[in-house]
Structures are given as C-alpha cells and as structure tokens.
Amino acid sequence: MNPEAWTYVFVSATFALYIFIAVRSRAGTTGEFYVAGGGVPPLANGLATAADWMSAASFISMAGIISFAGYDGSVYLMGWTGGYVLLALLLAPYLRKFGRFTVPDFIGDRYYSSTARVVAVVAAIFISFTYVGGQMRGVGIVFSRFLGVDVETGVLIGMGVVFVYAVLGGMKGITYTQVAQYCVLIFAFMVPAIFISLQIAGTPIPQLGFGGTEVGTSTFLLDKLDGLHRELGFHLYTEGAKPTIEIFATTLALMVGTAGLPHVIIRFYTVPRVRDARISAGWALLFIAILYTTAPAVAVFARTNLIQSVSEKSYAERPEWVRSWETAKLIEFTDHNGDGRIQYVGPNAVDASGAPIQNELVVDRDIMVLANPEIAGLPPWVIGLVAAGGLAAALSTAAGLLLVISTSISHDLLKRTFRPDITEHGELWAARIAAAVGVCVAGYLGIDPPGFVGEVVAFAFGLAAASFFPAIVMGIFSRRMNREGAISGLVVGLLFTASYIVWFKFVHPELDSAEHHLFGISPTGIGTVGMALNFVVALVVARFTPPPPAAVQELVTSIRTPRGAGEAHEIAVG
C-alpha cells in the first residue's frame, strides 16, 4: 500500500479507538467531567499528563524548529522540560492538597475575591485559545499532506473528532483517551527515529546516533552538518546566533509558562491523594523524557537528509517527497536565476565570484518530523504511523485545553460567580456547550494562526508565565500576598505580554527584529519580562494594602504543612 492508504488505516483505527474510549467513559457528573471523579491511578495519570503536555508543538514542530535553528533551538528543550520539573516539584502537590477543580478556582478562593476569579478565567481562556490554535494548525498540516485535503478541511475534520470525546467524555473520557494517545504518539515518534539512526549512524539508539559518526566514515554527524551549513551560507548548526539575553528570556518564559499552564495543572486534581500527584508527576516526567531526548537526534537526521536530498539538484528531478509537500503548499520553489536547479542556501551564501546567492526553496519547518520518513526513504507504513502520531499529539492537548475553557466558563463563571444556584445537570450542560463553542473558535484559530505551531504555542507559554505563575507561587508561599496585589500583578503581566505579542506579530510584523525589540527580547521570550512586572506590581501593591484575612493566611500555612499530606482534601462535587 502507498503512504496515503497506510495513513487512512492508522488514522481511522486510532480515531475509532479514541471515540470508543470517550463513549465508554462518558461523564455523568460534574466531578467526572472536570476531574474524572478524582480517581485516576498515578500511572494512568502520568501517561495522560505526558500526552496532554506533549502537544503538536512537541511532536510536530519542536524537532523542526531545532533542525532549522540548530543550537538556538535548544531553548525549547531546556524551557519545556525544565518547566515540567518546576511544576512537579514546586506547585502540583500543593495545588492538589488545596483541592479545587481549576486554577481560577484556586486563585478565587486563595485571594478571597470573585474579581480575582473572573480575571483568572479570562487569562485561562485567552491562554488556552492561543495554545489550542497551534494544535488545530498541526491537525490541518497532517491531513493536508496525507489525506489530500487542504489545511482548512483538515482542521474541520480534527474539530469533529475533538468535539466527540471532549464534549461527551469530559475529563474522564479525555484522560483514558490520552493514555491511548500517548502510546500512539511515542511509538510513532520512536520507530522512524530508530530506523533513521540505524541508516545514518549504525545504532538503534537515536540519542547516541546524532552524537556519533556517519556509517562508513570517521566523520562525526554534527561535524558533517556544520560543514554543509558552512558551504551553503547558514550559520553553524552547533553554534548559536541569538544573543544571550534572548536565549535566557525565552528559556525562562517557556519554563515558568509550563509551570503555569492551566490544562497541565488540572491533571493533578484527577488523582485520589497528594502522594499520587507526586507519583504521577514522576511517571509523566519519565514518559516525556523519552520524546524530548530523541527530538534533537530527529532534528539532526532530518536536517542532514533534507540538505543532501535537495541542494543543487535539478528541480525537474526533485524527490517525490518534495512534490507531495508542494501539493500541500508547505514547500515552495522559485527559480530566481532560471537555471532549473534548486539553490537551497542560507542568507550568507555567495557564488565563486563572491556575489550573493538567493535562496529558492522555502520549507515550512512544521513538516520536518512528518516528512522525515519520506526523506529517508522509509517504508510507507512508517509514514502513515507518523501521521497518526502527529494527530494523537495535537488532539490530546487540544482536548485538554478545551476542557479548561469549558470548565472555566461553566464552573468558575457560572457556578462559583454568577449562578451559584445552578443545578449539577445544568452545570454539566453548560460545560458541554462551552466546550462545543470552544471547538469552533479553536478551529478558526487553526485555519488562520499567527505563526508556526511551535511559535504559537510559545506565545501561550509566555502568557501563562506572565499571569498565572506569579499568582500561584505567591498564593502558595506568601501569607502576606493579598487580592489587591495578585489582581494588579496578573492584569499588568497579562496585558503587557499580550500587547507586546500583538504589536510585533499583528500590528507591525515588519518591526519584528532584534533592533526593535525591548532589551533585544523577542515576543517568544517577553513572558519573562511580563512575569517580572507581575511580581513587582503585586508585591508593591500588597505592601500598601491590607493583609489577607487570618483564615486565608492559615489556609496558606496548611497547604504547605507536611502533616496529613497523604490525606488530600476531598473535592466537592457539584
């Protein structure tokens, strides 16, 4: 069978599995819809957390970004993995002990304010929609190439699948669906990585392959890639081109943004005890590490194969994989000099006389992982498997984000703020309607995203870093932090970061360069500055306003007290 046929087989089988699980695990109460009844075993929650966290950005886009950026792409590896460690050790156990449904629920109760809860809801919805747009874009890319439809149609198909298991199953259905999705995505990511590592480096361990020598030679693979880059006018793969402050700011924004993401935090409410939250965090970190330690190898393999397969080749004799992705409009060729050959070169490329050479091939970096098996000439079934894995990664995170949106609206806005007398049945229907509306908005953002999948997701992390992270940290570790300080800091951090991103990405994209950025920090890393502003504003305002009530201060002390830590507060259902 050809790749398209295998893709149909794998995608149909996995979609049928996801929908079957969602229908069998359909939520019947608000507790099951929001937090799966609080009874998910740690191992299953670890698998679901890994799938929830490893989105299309991790599966599809991260290795692609690294393959183009080289050393500079390491910010995604350091930021996203470091952030999960920060979340697991610093925040998750305390939030689980606090025992609420959502992050806005925590902020509303901790800062004894409906206003704080509403501001947190707005932040959660804003962040989640920014994030989910990247996931739906990933779904569209997979479908556009492997099912022969355009990106817009691909997004619509993905919307239909997410609608079924997010709206029907809630967190209960999503959790067990994500367990299956993790198995699919990690298998799909590792199989081609092992195959290509054997081809290029002669070892089945990709982590060793990209640091080893090329098969049949004594040349290290990274040295060869540096040589190819030098010849083609790119900056060296193993050397960074970004300034140190940009590397630091982006890494920190991604790290603390991870620790503040509402759809990841909510997963720690689904386990029975605080101890189980710690155990599931450990399992999740192990499952995440499998992909994240492999991604740099995939990036090197893809980059090397890409350059060797297209550079200076005749366009009429271009590889079949180039033709396929051209049809999907994710590769474009323009013959600037009219010689019929592909000049794939960097911005510093020159000919023998020293005259600059213009690049003629534009490759969407989001296709690198998906195209990697084709570039390497792997069997068609591997190509179909990777497509199914990419969809699993995108859909798993999209479902978690949509649940955050629906929960924020139905529970935090309706039940806890505007309609405290709403029945459990009414609240459950409100959650499902909110999820359905969220699917539609997510689809629009997937069709018309503000950037690459990984880039869009990075914006969401920056927004989370500038808003939720300071409010949660100060809520747990500062008895003196009050509602006035928390609300002021959250609003300032979120508005500053969102305005900076909108200014450079939508209003004046032509100014999106280092010389125009504040302190040389790009929109991807500006969340670090927003976070600092949040902390400063919150601490200053709290200093000049009344302290929290004594009961709130005692609550802060109690959630950090080890005694009774294994006896988590029961989550009130309804």
The larger pLDDT score, comparing residue 228 to residue 130, is at 228
> Which one of 40-49, 221-230, 262-271, 318-327 scores highest in mean pLDDT?
221-230
pLDDT at 545 over 90: yes
pLDDT band with cut points at 50, 70 and 90 for residue 459: confident
Is 534 or 29 the better-scoring residue by pLDDT? 534
pLDDT digit string (tens) for 485-500? 999 999 999 899 989 9
Residue 33: the pLDDT is 58
Q: What is the reported pLDDT for 166?
A: 62
Structural contact between residues 159 and 440, judged by C-beta atoms closer than 8 angstroms: yes
- As given in the structure block, the two tokens for residue 119 are 């501001």
Q: Evaluate whether 383 touches 3 at the Cβ level (below 8 Å).
A: yes
Which range has highest mean pLDDT (10-24, 50-64, 217-231, 366-380)? 217-231
- The residue assigned the tokens 């794998």 is 10
Span 147-205, pLDDT tens digits: 677 777 888 887 777 777 666 656 666 777 888 888 888 999 999 999 999 999 999 99
User: Over 50: is that where the pLDDT of 565 sits?
Assistant: no
Helical pair 244-259 and 453-477, crossing angle rounded to 10 deg: 60
For 75-122, what is the HEC assignment?
HHHHHHHHHHHHHHHHHHHHHHHHCCCCHHHHHHHHCCCHHHHHHHHH
Least confident of 51-60, 209-218, 291-300, 322-331: 51-60
Q: Is 435 within 8 Å of 167 (Cβ atoms)?
A: yes
pLDDT for the residue 35: 55
Is 266 in contact with 53 (CB distance < 8 Å)?
A: no
For the segment 83-104, what is each residue's pLDDT rounded down to a tens digit?
A: 878 877 778 778 777 766 677 8
Cα-based torsion angle of the residue sequence 535, 541, 547, 549 in order, rounded to the nearest 10 degrees = -80
Alpha-carbon torsion angle 354, 355, 356, 358, nearest 10: -130
The answer to whether residue 538 scores a pLDDT higher than 90 is: yes
- Higher local confidence (pLDDT), 264 or 205: 205
For the record, the structure tokens of 478 come out as: 């500062």
Instruction: Return the higher-pLDDT residue of 545 and 260.
Output: 545
pLDDT at 571: 39
**Residue 320: pLDDT band with limits 50, 70, 90:** confident
**Which residue from 386, 463, 420, 360 is spatially nearest to 185, judged by alpha carbons?**
386
d(CA 142, CA 366): 10
For residue 26, pLDDT beyond 80: no
CA dihedral of 462, 467, 473, 478, whole degrees rounded to 10: 150
For 370-390, what is the mean pLDDT?
87
pTM over 0.75: yes
281-313 in b/e form (b: 16+ CB < 10 A) is bebbbebbeebbebbbbbbbbbbbbbbebbbee
What angle do the packed helices 62-69 and 274-310 form, to 10 degrees? Answer: 50
Q: What is the pLDDT of residue 98?
A: 76
Average predicted confidence (pLDDT) for the chain:
82
Burial of 323 (0-12, 13-18, 19+ CB in 10 A): exposed
- At residue 167, the pLDDT reads 64
% residues pLDDT > 70 (the chain) = 91
Question: pLDDT for 345-362, tens place per residue?
Answer: 888 888 878 888 889 998
Q: Tell me, what's the pLDDT at 568?
A: 44
Confidence tier at 457 by pLDDT (50, 70, 90): low
Closest CA to 394 of 165, 174, 185, 83: 185
Min mean pLDDT across 9-13, 299-303, 532-536 is at 9-13
Looking only at the bridges linking them, the beta strands covering 361-363 and 331-333 are antiparallel
Q: How far apart are the C-alpha atoms of 127 and 364, rounded to whole Å?
A: 25
pLDDT at 564: 47
For 356, half-sphere exposure in the C-beta direction (CA atoms, 13 angstrom radius) is 7
- Mean per-residue pLDDT for 551-572? 65
Q: Which fold has domain 32-308+369-450?
A: Sodium/glucose cotransporter (1.20.1730)
Q: Does the structure show a pLDDT above 50 at 527? A: yes
- Cα separation, 92 vs 473, whole angstroms: 11
Report whether 201 contacts 210 (CB < 8 A). yes
Contact 251, 77 (CB under 8 A): no
For 323-339, what is the mean pLDDT? Answer: 86
Query: Which of 427 and 334 is assigned the larger pLDDT?
Result: 334
> What is the band of 30 on the pLDDT scale with cuts at 50, 70, 90?
low
